[in-house]
Structure 1
């Protein structure tokens, strides 16, 4: 294996990359337990057939290679695993899962609704089959033992189909994207809900956007992933207090496409996020992959109907007042009732929930006993200058909800959250 430059970049990923940085997004713990947890796609380390001998490359050059990659056609299989350390939902699972008894009297929504199905990626190991042919054609399938769930985007049409239940979901691009102007110059109707990266490339882009003076970026040797030679780019926080130990991205030496993404926690142990190709092909996929006609007898749900159903549904968000609003507000740094404390990997979002109300409790009669048991298992009671509250924990994102209705959330330790709450008091 030839040596590689390990020159660090101290926020120096200039030019193309610097222009692509965006503010980090912060999400309350209930979102981590639901749709937002699926924002992290995930996989066990792939077997290596020997480290390839590649020309030396600096970290700066490798990042620029990723940014300059214009690969728009590919197909392959991605294996995804995640271990966020979220306690089991136990008896709540049936109440809040799609089609469960919660919220709508047991009617449930469509099992093909992407907003529901993508939560599967929040835990465990999954095999995905993906294909892309430019910005207007993508397909993603979650494979099960005897069934398959597929999302197909073709032009202005988005279809999702669950073969197990024989249910389908249909939307136009405008409906799927909610706001066609949200990302200038980009299509807004990608079949995967916004903020849910499902490929190593999407995961790597999120991390590199946050690279700055608080980040160390180095090249640490080579690897072979899915039969292709790759460089290993290692990204580490310089700051203390972050729950993230390091991120390693295996970058295809020829195309610059990230092939594998591994996020290790600062506390040690197995990867929180591990996603990588087991097979990949950069040839043009067959056009038939992007066409879909519901089989005869399939129950089809239109996007407008699904939106109405979501509004009627009750879930974990109803147990924590303002949780849904806090999630939406955290998506924009300048959103009302939201501000950011600190910067870089140790940045913390401070969110004031509507009505400034804290957690409901079983004593008040607002929470069922089994729901309270879940909340207690997920959180630790803490006190400080700010008063008292509960810290909700995962292996990656932690959040402090104070009894007076404020939320402090970030990829930081419990001590960092308490310190932030004290400083804001």
Structure 2
């Protein structure tokens, strides 16, 4: 059964397109159910992050158009406005793509480790929604094993590089010293936690964490001697912030132009550096038009990220070699599934012949035949029945000149030419 990987990412689609194709945590289970109702889809996992939205499916045929149409229809968009940004991979290419994604080789920051956790979470969500089966379960477990090997055997993850790290690096370039600065972090997920860690390591003066759940914000802020506020309190504290880094799963912007204007007025127009990592965006794009605001999205971090990429290229080449080996290993397992069905069918046929012949041999015993005669009958009849069809097919293959079939049979049965013919 074909495997399809279809989606878009930071390389193929700008943020304004990506933010319209996301699957938030509250809708992803329903989305999986909807996708499985598509006639060609048997199993599916949906991966949706700030930099990519991808659908991994096992499908009944090689037609990928129905899945592409489903993505557009689910989000209420014209397919013509989405399809130019989509890429697709089939079978071995799909397996390779998933491995590269999980290892961070396809990330905005080469080798970043967060994506593996996001892939694991996507798979667990799909498994909980009963959207996965034998094929995708095997694939994703294989991918997790490969990712672990690459982290262990290469230097792909040796330096602390991520989108969050790139954001903090840019803040250091702007402010040079962070000890006098205050950072407002919006959200309390992995990316924000990583940003908080990097800021703390670089000597940030104060950290404020704003989150929908204040308890979660407090738990994170406490690790870095910061304090927590609710999202509704951001307007009261924004003027304190020199640095704002935002990454939430909100479908609507958290910060609007009016709120930022009031904060700038209170700050007497001291500049604020803002990084909006979220997709959909947390900060209204119009905020970038304000004087004294330096607003960056994930797409603006390319220069910082390119510098980090160069330091990881050698490790990436090693990782690609490991991936190539494991792609072939998985595809070998996949091809073996066809053989399993064939073997099962052959065994069922052989067992039916055995049972029929054994029944006749037992009847002969009941009729007074000796055990030796019954065994002779059993061995002779069963051998003839098992060999009849293959022998007839091989004889016909010889008559038709099907040399490849004869050679395959010789390999299959491991036959030796008889030394003495009767």
Shorter-chain TM range is under 0.3
Could you say which structure has the higher strand fraction?
1
Q: Which has the higher contact order (CA 8 A, sep 6+)?
A: 1
If the length of structure 1 is used for normalisation, what is the TM-score?
A: 0.24
**Which of the two has higher C-alpha Rg?**
2
